[in-house]
């Protein structure tokens, strides 16, 4: 099983959940591979040299490493923007995978990037200055071919445009693929976002084998403190273990 | 749940305020009064509101006035719905 990380600070915040998932799965005799994309985390390179294409290659090499070393059926796990990359990979892949586990996937890369840009705009949003920086100004910088520093991450125009162009709506999962999609909600009365439910319904209508479940807990990928949702890990392990496939 | 209660739940989640929000009312000041409420928290709150209510917030709709108090933030959410 290959675990695909999310992006930027969301990756740091979900680190513990990823290791916990990996540990639990390997306790169940599963081979789990965790990695950081080129130019991020503990991997070599700088983010400025990274590209969406390179990251898709990273997924490919992770999967072929597992196929060579372990064999058998291979599963994929991804969360947030990692799901966009997983979809990008699966859209182009010729070797199918067995199960896809999704945690709070980002559906629209454009919406995500807008929210990400706010990390830079936050302070100017609060200022009364008439000439304060807006997302339009940031887009102008990217359009001119220059990189943009957002919250300590050097974002190249190429990376931004591929991210913004990515959407799970362009992903038509194979009907052989078994998908579990978990969304985290703050309390039991809450339902996952409408957009997510719509997309799942669309997939189901198209014959895709997708199970959509909510898990109560805190949004661990963007909370101030590091938090864990053990129910999410437990239910993920159950999904993967079902049928005993690897 | 009223919008005020929902907004308080979102604040409690994003800022990890715990039960302290139960003491909040519409007059409770936010920006500059709650230490956790920095510009990063503002971003978190806007994103959480968007995801919760399904509306989209443009940069120029947001300024310090929106985050002055629970009351001003609730009015902002109401104006978006």
Q: Which of residues 85-114 of A touch B (CB under 8 A)?
A: 111
> Is A118 in contact with B10 (Cβ distance < 8 A)?
no
Token reading at A205: 């209508």
> Is B64 in contact with A134 (Cβ distance < 8 A)?
no
Rounded Cα–Cα distance for residues A170 and A4 (Å): 19
Residue with tokens 């985290």: A184
Rounded Cα–Cα distance for residues A110 and A108 (Å): 5
Mean pLDDT throughout A136-151? 94
Could you give the ipTM of this predicted complex?
0.75
Determine the pLDDT at residue A129.
74
Of B62, B64, B69, B80, the closest CA to residue B8 belongs to: B69
Reported confidence tier of residue A244, pLDDT bands at 50, 70, 90: very low
Rounded Cα–Cα distance for residues A185 and B81 (Å): 21
- pLDDT tens, residue by residue, A41-92: 999 999 999 999 999 999 999 999 999 998 888 999 999 999 999 999 999 9
> Is B16 in contact with A223 (Cβ distance < 8 A)?
yes
Rounded Cα–Cα distance for residues A187 and B67 (Å): 24
- Helix, strand, coil % in chain B, rounded to nearest 5: 65, 0, 35
* Phi (first) and psi of residue A3, to 5 degrees: -100, 120
Q: Is A225 on the interface with B (CB under 8 A)?
A: yes
Measured CA to CA in angstroms, residue A178 lies from A204, B39, B57 at distances of: 11, 41, 35
> Is B59 in contact with A187 (Cβ distance < 8 A)?
no
Does the predicted model carry a pTM greater than 0.90? no
> Is B39 in contact with A128 (Cβ distance < 8 A)?
no
Q: Which of residues 169-198 of A touch B (CB under 8 A)?
A: 186-187, 189-190, 193-195
A147 contact partners, CB below 8 Å, separation of at least 6: A48, A154, A155, A156, A157
> Is B15 in contact with A135 (Cβ distance < 8 A)?
no
Of A10, A221, A224, A120, the closest CA to residue B35 belongs to: A224
Pair A76, A99: CB distance under 8 Å: yes
Token reading at A1: 């099983």
Determine the pLDDT at residue A36.
98
Token reading at A72: 């058998």
Reported confidence tier of residue B2, pLDDT bands at 50, 70, 90: confident
Q: Is A223 on the interface with B (CB under 8 A)?
A: yes
- pLDDT tens, residue by residue, B24-61: 999 999 988 888 888 778 888 998 898 878 788 888 88
Q: Is A118 on the interface with B (CB under 8 A)?
A: yes
- pLDDT tens, residue by residue, A173-189: 999 999 999 999 988 88
Residues from chain B that touch A128, judged by Cβ atoms under 8 A, are 63-64
Mean pLDDT throughout B3-29? 89
Rounded Cα–Cα distance for residues A26 and A23 (Å): 5
Q: How far is A171 from chain B (nearest CA, A)?
A: 21
> Which of A20-29, A116-125, B29-38 is most confident?
A20-29
Q: How many residues does chain A have?
A: 246
Q: What angle do CA A30, A42, A54 make, to 5 degrees?
A: 85
Residues from chain B that touch A126, judged by Cβ atoms under 8 A, are 31, 39, 42, 63-64, 67
Pair A183, A214: CB distance under 8 Å: yes
Pair A246, A70: CB distance under 8 Å: yes
> Is A115 in contact with B40 (Cβ distance < 8 A)?
no
């Amino acid at each position: 099983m290959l675990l695909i990380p999310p992006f930027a600070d969301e990756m740091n915040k979900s680190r513990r959940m990823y290791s916990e998932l990996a540990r639990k799965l390997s306790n169940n005799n599963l081979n789990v591979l965790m990695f950081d994309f080129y130019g991020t985390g503990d991997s070599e390179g700088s983010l400025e040299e990274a590209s969406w294409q390179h990251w898709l290659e990273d997924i490919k090499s992770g999967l072929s490493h597992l196929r060579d070393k372990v064999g058998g059926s291979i599963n994929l796990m991804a969360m947030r923007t990692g799901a966009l990359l997983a979809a990008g990979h699966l859209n182009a892949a010729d070797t199918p995978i067995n199960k896809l586990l999704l945690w709070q996937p980002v559906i629209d890369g454009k919406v995500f990037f807008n929210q990400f840009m706010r990390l830079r705009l936050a302070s100017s949003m609060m200022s009364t200055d008439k000439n304060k920086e807006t997302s339009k100004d940031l887009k102008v910088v990217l359009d001119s071919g220059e990189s943009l520093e957002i919250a300590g991450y050097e974002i190249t125009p190429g990376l931004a445009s591929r991210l913004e162009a990515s959407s799970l709506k362009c992903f038509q999962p194979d009907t052989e693929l078994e998908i579990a999609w978990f969304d985290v909600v703050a309390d039991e009365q809450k339902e996952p976002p409408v957009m997510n439910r719509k997309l799942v319904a669309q997939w189901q209508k198209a014959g895709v084998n997708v199970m959509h479940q909510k898990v109560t807990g805190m949004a661990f990928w963007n909370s101030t403190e590091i938090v864990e949702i053990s129910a999410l890990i437990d239910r993920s392990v159950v999904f993967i273990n079902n049928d005993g496939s690897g | 749940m009223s919008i005020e209660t929902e907004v308080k739940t979102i604040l409690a989640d994003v800022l990890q305020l715990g039960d302290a929000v139960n003491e909040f009312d519409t007059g409770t000041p936010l920006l500059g009064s709650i230490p956790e409420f920095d510009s990063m928290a503002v971003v978190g709150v806007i994103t959480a509101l968007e995801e919760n209510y399904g509306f989209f917030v443009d940069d120029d709709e947001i300024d310090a006035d929106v985050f002055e108090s629970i009351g001003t933030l609730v009015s902002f959410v109401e104006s978006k719905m």
